[in-house]
Amino acid sequence: MPAFEFNEPHQGDPDEIYTITRLNREARSLLEDTFGMVRVEGEISGLTRSTAGHLYFSLKDERCHVRCVMFAGSQRFGNLKFEPADGMSVLAKAAVSLYDVNGSFQLRIQRMEEAGAGAALRSLEKLKAALQAEGLFDARHKRPLPDLPRRIGLVTSPTGAVVQDMLRVLKRRFPAIPILIHPIPVQGEGAADEIARMLDRACRRGECDLLILARGGGSAEDLKAFNEEVLARAIFRATIPIITGIGHEPDFTIADCVADASAPTPSVAAEKAAPDKAEWLKRFRGLESLLQRAIRRTVDGLGKDVDNLLRRLSDPRRRLEDHAQRLDHVSSRLDRRMHRLLQAKRERTAMMSMRLNRQSLERIVHRYRHLLERLERGMNRALTSALDDRRMRVQELDRTLRALGPDTILERGYSILLKGDGETKVQAVRDASEVRPGERLHARLARGSLELEVVRSQEGSESSSGDQDHPR
């Protein structure tokens, strides 16, 4: 309590008689001039609110109490930011006065705020409710965590056991993921602003696709920065998913509510951020097995396709003849259609000519004759071009089929062994097990053929170098 200087009491005429009104007014002036504005702390008791909105109550401590009034006008403009109630501890700025109607000593409160830990808790709950009403805690705003981050950012103090614990966990879980440390103060004045700026900077740089915001345990005052609005809004506007690991398991802050995921400790946050390397290795082995099976199936399918194509190319002359016959058929149809089309055009031109008057007949006939001639020349050119294209296509097919045909293969020095006589079906010999010694074979060459007799057959891809038997 500050020291006050008291003026000497007014020494009036001892025989002067005061009215009660005058006495109370002069006492009120003396109190207000002497004390002015004071700050007091106490507990609210007997709180009532008048119909005009004025508050009447007492402030008390362990021994005494004093009557107080806070007028409705003093409650505006941020001078009263909470709803007072009996039992609350408050800190008030007031004018010492006296209510001259009944001579009661009182304080006229100008500004009042909550005091103590209860005030901080209520303020925190009020902020949490406001942010939740805005939707900052809604699950629809939570970003999914990446299955395999390309880089993880640690937003924490660069010194101490917390960062070392997280680094050990991340190395054990998936050592191939690079780590980038974003140093921040985790407590103290202005810490929330510094953390918010660091989160904004990390999102702008885009070097990481997952951030872990972490600090160790501590008191409510130590965790104050993680309960401030500026940090909550920075987490909400972040473009990179954020996991929080703040304090120990009982601790839960506003930052945990806004973050995309939260963990009870920094180490658990690191566990959530990095995948298990053993599970990924198992997944890779499964993918490798699936890929090998798919490759084998593809190779087998391509082999069957090749066999089918070879069977289809067994007689290229037949396909060439089929294409030539189809070309003749199409050419004949095209000629007939062109003839019918030209005949129809001529008939239509004749009918239109009959309807025209004699004055314009010659001019129209002349114009349409030229048009008809141009159309006929164009159609003849189109027909000739189409026939040329078909002939070129047939020639290309013929060359392709000849290159793939058996005659070309025989020209390269190969021969075809055939078995069978006039009564049985002739078939090509592909395997030594298909013939017996003494059996007669027919060998077709590029030019001419041979009649052979099998002396000995040997199964397998290669024969012994020392003793080989040949057909004769």
| pLDDT tens by residue, 247-285 | 877 767 889 999 999 998 999 999 998 888 777 777 778
pLDDT of residue 117 exceeding 70: no
Distances (CA, A) of 7 to 1, 4, 12, 26, 129: 18, 10, 14, 14, 52
Per-chain mean pLDDT for the chain: 82
Per residue in 434-449, pLDDT (tens digit) is 888 888 888 888 788 8
Residue 141 tokens read as 């705003």
Per residue in 86-99, pLDDT (tens digit) is 888 888 889 888 88
Please, which pLDDT band fits residue 103 given cuts at 50, 70 and 90? confident
Per residue in 370-393, pLDDT (tens digit) is 888 888 888 888 888 888 888 898
User: 426 or 148: whose pLDDT is higher?
Assistant: 148
Please name which of 304, 311, 309, 380 lies closest in space to residue 342, comparing C-alpha atoms: 380
Please, which pLDDT band fits residue 410 given cuts at 50, 70 and 90? confident
- Kind of pairing, strands 55-60 and 179-183? unpaired
Q: Which H/E stretch holds residue 92?
A: strand 89-99
Q: Over range 304-329, report the average pLDDT.
A: 74
pLDDT of residue 2 exceeding 80: no
Q: Over range 344-359, report the average pLDDT.
A: 74
Give the pLDDT score at 366.
77
Q: List the beta strands (DSSP E) in 357-468.
A: 416-419, 427-428, 440-444, 449-453
pLDDT of residue 60 exceeding 70: yes
Q: Encode 15-30: b = buried (16+ Cβ within 10 Å), e = exposed.
A: eeeeeeeeebeeebee
Give the pLDDT score at 468.
44
Round to whole Å and give the CA distance between 316 and 406: 9
Q: Over range 54-82, report the average pLDDT.
A: 87
Residue 42 pairs in a beta bridge with 90
- Kind of pairing, strands 152-156 and 104-114? unpaired
Round to whole Å and give the CA distance between 182 and 28: 61
Q: Over range 109-133, report the average pLDDT.
A: 79
pLDDT of residue 6 exceeding 70: no
Write the burial class of residue 329 (CB in 10 Å: 0-12 exposed, 13-18 middle, 19+ buried): exposed
Q: Which residues, including other chains, have CB under 8 Å from residue 313's CB and lie 6 or more apart?
A: 401, 404, 405
Give the pLDDT score at 425.
65
Residue 40 pairs in a beta bridge with 92
Residue 35 tokens read as 């004390």
pLDDT of residue 110 exceeding 50: yes
What topology is assigned to 141-275 in CATH?
A: Rossmann fold (3.40.50)
Please, which pLDDT band fits residue 21 given cuts at 50, 70 and 90? confident
The CATH code that applies to domain 20-115 is 2.40.50.140
Per residue in 129-139, pLDDT (tens digit) is 889 899 988 98
Domain parsing of the chain, residue ranges = 20-115, 141-275, 316-404, 410-472
Give the pLDDT score at 87.
82
User: 107 or 424: whose pLDDT is higher?
Assistant: 107
| pTM of the full structure | 0.43
Stretch among 33-42, 97-106, 325-334, 398-407 having the lowest mean pLDDT: 398-407
